[in-house]
Structure 1
Amino acid sequence: MGKQTPMLMQYNRIKRQYPDCLVFFRLGDFYELFGTDAEIAAQALDITLTSREAGKGKRIPMCGVPHHAADSYLATLVQKGHKVAICEQLEDPRTAKGIVKRDVVRIVTPGTALDDTLQPGQNRYLAAVTENRGVWGIAVCDFSTGEFLCTEIKGENASDTVLSELHRVSPSELLMTGLPSPASDRVKALGFYAPEVHSELFNYDPARQALLDHFRVLSLEGFGCENLREATKAAGAIISYLRETQKTELSHISRLVPYNTASHMMLDHTTRRNLELTRTLRDGERHATLLWVLDQTRTPMGARLLKTWLEQPLLNGDAINNRLDAVESLTEADLARSELRELLKRVYDLPRLAGRVALRTANGRDLNALARSLQQLPAILPLVEEVARVPSLRSLLKRLDP
């Protein structure tokens, strides 16, 4: 067998660093895949599998996709449970001396993908779960919006509560390791994509330090989770995983919000299915569900919030009345509400747009949508002032920065 070409030697070196990923190797205007990666991708994407000279007397399977259309192919691979390492050219091939420098700039996984298949009213969660001596920690992050939540669950029925919460969140990707049996088997039976991760990812000290470093604070007390050891481990695992896979600043993840499952009605998987809150019992679609009937929201943010409210019914009487008071206040302000709804129709998905800007993946269309959305604020503000007759709405008003 002859010696490999310099380009394939470079590819194999990078592939050895990411053995669990399909490597999208940039060659000019295409991303190429080689060997087993090519065979897997060609079948998954239904594209032609060819071959390339790999040295004297040897050929290697190869397939490729155009650089400008890569997002759609990435979305298909991710939906089928594959991780994809994006290997870019780090210098101009026209001025490079010898082989062009290349390296992996990010890893696309089911829980971190930012493709166009993201539904406006849906979250795409990356979740982590851990357990120690009967205390469970759960953290969830929507990488596209920067939403970052955590909670701890303990007690006699803790494992059942954890399963119900994971059903509700329905993460696209779940990080876990070392869970006790039989709870581990029950979590795996949920069928969520769960990549192999090192147990060190969930060690308390490095997990806590990852959070402190990310938020640039000396304590987690300001977030209300300094004493939530298991939740901290799960949240820290997510931040470490995102740093490892995204290889960039995560500035759009600006806060960690702890929540208490006891403040909401816990609904198990069977109850959720039978009630058809967000998915139908027959085919799992949104059409003909309670959410489909109620969703008259005008923004993607509102659609996601309504879905969350339906899946987490309040238990506290004061919280319920505060929400009803806000609804009543808006109902009585008929004219202002109508004008407000018209303005909100012109507001795009601000959290996701801000996330793309922070991750430096925003294009001209995204920046234009962001500008047009922000232009609505001067007209929105006086209308909110007009309808804000109750404390819950006035608190929202204080958070608006014109």
Structure 2
Amino acid sequence: MLTLTSGWLITARNLRRYLRPIVTNQRSRQISTYNVDIAGLTEEQAEFRNAVAEFAERELAPRAAQIDKSNNFPSDIWEKLGDMGLLGVTVSSKYGGLDLGYFHHTLAMEELSRASGSVALSYGAHSNLCVNQIHRHGTEAQKQKYLPDLIAGKKSRQSDVVSMSLRADKIDGGWKLNGNKFWITNGPTASTLVVYAKTAPERGSKGITAFIIEKTFKGSDTCELVFDNCEVPEENVLGQVNKGAGVLMSGLDLERLVLSGGPLGLAQAAFDYAVEYVHDRKQFGQPVGTFQLMQGKIADMYTSINASRAYVYAVARACDRGQISRRDCAGAILYSTEKAIEVALEAMQCLGGNGYINDYPMGRILRDSRLYAVGAGTQEIRRMLIGREFNEQFKSS
């Protein structure tokens, strides 16, 4: 008998309509080399992962190539993710969430990324950078007002830099925001956003405040969000005035952890496709996967994925125990990203010329993997953070 939270039991009933045979005109993955026993999943965690994987294979995988080609996000996906409760994995059931931890959130990110890296990244931005931040730092009134709708599938996005040009000036009853934000995931269609603005520019990082912005507030937003005299009421300050950097930084470690599931899923997708391909493709009367050099590629990709997954999962389990390590959250996404890029390149090589053309998914998977080397902090920043953590450790010893 599985021991599940009440929130998950409720959501599981909603999932059953997704767990039916998949019929599409596109070829789906026929195999998965994911090893549940090696991954160390409990029965409940395996059930959760399988449910997300089934959903992703049905709703995302058949559309992934077209999403990539058209550069248009499928807006209907938000409500479907909301129906499953996946937009509030770490949120209390009091607000419609699943009451689960960051390990489950990372699992969801991994499985969605296996089907579509771009959709999964938007999912991570919404569910972690916005929903989780409001849940962690919002007042009870803010949680009651925003979380139920956000978890049900209304989109949002949090900005994530402290070197911003957005400024907030105090006015009667609230604040007036002016400036802009670049590279905002989900920006064009967001209904609610968490943004950070300078309320005391002369104080640097100690003069930043977090705000909850509604689409109905006066102001304009695009993929580059432009705030032109955007008035925000006092009750929409998230956390405390001039304490926004703390809100932001406290969420960055968890952001890096959850998003590290993205490279895991992309690497797994690349490997699963390649290993099946090389056993279908024949040369000299035998599958090319039986050639020794190809066997070496298979072995290298497989061990890289499992080593990466073991590190990410270990960090996720530690975070759920309250043992959040900045160096290891940075290390998890650093390592999983590097291995995802390596695996995607090797998988592309396994397909030969077919790996290069858009009739096959390898180019898309490689591009999506590369995004993690510059998005959510660059690989260079992650290395700097890890090194600096050790510098601080030895400075104080």
TM-score (norm 2): 0.28
Which structure has more helix as a fraction of its residues? 2
**Does 1 or 2 have the higher relative contact order (CA < 8 Å, sep 6+)?**
2
Which structure has more strand as a fraction of its residues? 1
TM-score (norm 1): 0.28
